[in-house]
Amino acid sequence: MPEPEADPEREPETDWQRRRRLAAIFGDVLPDTTRDERDAGSAGEVRKDSASDAWLKAQVPPHHGG
């Protein structure tokens, strides 16, 4: 599919305008920060270990500082 011709009278869009236009079309796919970059309790995030995580942590030998 050929790309549409650019309108010579239209001003080029800024980065924030482009991001806003793409977000309107595709939604906010990726957050600005990843989970490991945020504080543990930020944004109401509650993390609870599953039973398998708890079991795995209980299996750590004492000399590993579990």
pLDDT digits (tens, 9 = 90+) for 40-50: 665 555 567 78
- Give the C-alpha distances (Å, rounded to integers) separating 12 from 6, 24, 52, 56: 10, 18, 53, 55
pTM value?
Answer: 0.31
pLDDT band at 64 (very low <50, low <70, confident <90, very high): confident
pLDDT band at 15 (very low <50, low <70, confident <90, very high): very high
* DSSP-derived 3-state class of residue 23: helix
Give 2's contacts (C-beta < 8 A, 6+ positions apart).
none
Each residue's pLDDT tens digit, 23-61? 888 887 677 788 788 776 655 555 677 888 889 888 888
